[in-house]
Amino acid sequence: MNKFGKKFSLLLTLTLLVLISATPLIQANAINSSTDDGAELWQDVPLTNDQIKATWPNLPTPKQLYENEGGLVIDLRYCGKQVSSMDEALPDPNSPTVFDVTSIIVNCTTTVPDYLHGGLDVNSPHIWLQYNSSIWIQVPSKYLQTTITSKETKQQTETWAVGMYANPQQIAGSYDVWGVCTFGQWNSETFGTSGSYVGTNVLTVCSNNMGYQFAMQLNPVGRAVVYNIWDLSTNQKIDDGLWYITDANTGQLYNMYIRYDTSSGWQGWWNQTLYWTYTADTSTRVRTGNQVNVVVESNDFIANHFSGFYTNIGGIQSGYNLCATVYLFNGNWKPLVSGDYAPAGYTYLGGQSLNGVTIGDQAPPSNWSDLNIGQTTSYRGRFTVGVGRPQRVYGYTLWTYGTI
């Protein structure tokens, strides 16, 4: 990496720790009462060892999973620790832990959003097996199909989505694409009613085999980072999870990226902090062609929940461009600095298939009068989604190919 690139990576890290001046804060009305009797997000119901043995007597061993099959892995040597630059493949194991990922290593049933198919997975079982003193692996959902309670169900509801799609090959050319990054933000209030959620920035990255998602989410409990992993051949979700974030700044742009690393596999990062690796994917590169990379998605169709709502995906901070989508190819993340090229960006609306992937089953409601949700752009590479903005048609050109 050249000298300028190293300086920029350091500046990017430092500037991510301060609020964006001159960036409008998102506003969403807090809901004080609700008649919604749906499941609440992330309600943990612990599972005892006896319950696990009785319900799933034939689970694979951690050695079988980790060494032979692979899957979602939390390695306490690295997960929960930050890097100083997005160019680093793994954190320094001697660096301090900034997020306690052991909070997610709990055997339980819980309720997690499904950003690919919509709705909630209610009482979804999560079981972790310890491979060694630092490595834990989550049992894939295919081993946990037995219904363990009469309440276990999938509340599949409609979801709307609006965002952008692009073709990374337009700037990567013949180079392989190793990862995708985005920059998103939260507002200051809880959102919606019990069981409802909005992903203020949902990043989707596909290899030839798997789909990976990270979402910055608002729900009545608070702010969370959600992950979904699914098999593209069967369209079935394999793993999911959710972490609550308690110390994020309102209106600040945080980076969120998914990348492949030769030493560990596919990785999920938020705020330059490693959350998980996935080791069961034999495909090692991002699929090219048109990709629905970043969207706002919600299962909430109540208009007044969105009064004043808007969120920025990408922006400018300290004079640097933090784009809605940044791609890792030829050893560098691009576009990041002025003069880098960005691929053309187009409006994505829920219900449309791109490369076999559909995010959200429909476009934002168009009958909300002045609360209609659309998107605006003021600069190549970034956009805002919110009420009172134009509702673009699917495929509308947000920006053309060119430099940022």
Least-confidence region, from 24-33, 174-183, 201-210 = 24-33
DSSP characters for 1-36? --HHHHHHHHHHHHHTTS--TTPPPP--PPP-----
pLDDT tier, 154 (very low <50, low <70, confident <90, very high otherwise): low
- Mean pLDDT in residue range 154-173: 90
- Report the pLDDT value the prediction gives residue 2, as an integer from 0 to 100: 46
Section 124-146 average pLDDT = 92
Nearest Cα to Cα of residue 349 among 301, 293, 393, 397: 393
Instruction: Write out the two tokens for 383.
Output: 């956009």
**Average pLDDT of the residues in 53-60:** 95
pLDDT for residue 38 is more than 60: no
* pLDDT on residue 39: 57
- Per the model's pLDDT, the better-predicted residue between 29 and 255 turns out to be 255
> Residue 25: is its pLDDT beyond 60?
no
Say if residue 321's pLDDT is above 90. no
Q: How confident is the model at residue 247 (pLDDT cuts 50, 70, 90)?
A: confident
Over range 73-85, report the average pLDDT.
97
- Tell me the β-bridge partners of 163: 295, 348
Render pLDDT for 59-74 as a digit per residue (tens, 0 to 9): 999 999 999 999 999 9
Q: What is the DSSP pairing of strand 236-244 with strand 160-166?
A: unpaired
Residues 6+ apart with CB under 8 A from 274: 78, 79, 80, 81, 83, 90, 91, 267, 268
**pLDDT grade, residue 14 (50/70/90)?**
very low
- Structure confidence by residue, pLDDT tens digits, 218-233: 988 889 999 999 999 9
Q: Are strands 315-317 and 320-322 parallel, antiparallel or unpaired?
A: antiparallel
- Looking up tokens 């609440």 gives 40
For residue 145, what pLDDT is reported?
80
Helix (H) or strand (E) holding 365: none
pLDDT of residue 160: 96
- Lowest mean pLDDT across 21-30, 202-211, 337-346: 21-30
Which residue is it, tokens 């965002």? Answer: 163
| Dist. CA 315–CA 326, nearest whole Å | 12
Q: Are strands 315-317 and 222-231 parallel, antiparallel or unpaired?
A: unpaired
Report the pLDDT value the prediction gives residue 121, as an integer from 0 to 100: 85
Give the 3-state secondary structure percentages of the chain, helix then strand then coil, rounded to 5.
Answer: 10, 40, 50
> Cα separation of 274 and 234, whole Å?
28
Confidence at residue 24, expressed as pLDDT on a 0 to 100 scale: 31
Q: How far is CA 78 from the centre of its chain?
A: 19
What pLDDT was estimated at residue 151?
44
Do you know the residue count of the chain?
A: 404
CA distances from 397 to 163, 343, 358, 362 (A): 12, 11, 19, 19
Q: Check residues 310 and 193 and name the one with the higher pLDDT.
A: 310
144 vs 319: which has the higher pLDDT: 144
- Closest C-alpha to 103, from 292, 279, 246, 252: 246
**E-only strand ranges, 174-235:** 177-184, 198-206, 210-219, 222-231
Q: How many domains does the chain have?
A: 1
152 pLDDT more than 60: no
Percent of the chain's residues with pLDDT above 70: 85
Which residues constitute the domain of residue 342?
Answer: 1-404
> What is the pLDDT at residue 195?
85
In whole angstroms, how large is the CA radius of gyration of the chain? 20
pTM summary value: 0.88
Q: 357, 335, 61, 57: which is closest to 211 by C-alpha? A: 357
Question: Is residue 11 predicted with pLDDT exceeding 70?
Answer: no
pLDDT above 60: residue 325? yes
Q: Among residues of the chain, what percentage have pLDDT more than 90? A: 69
More confident residue, 71 or 103: 71
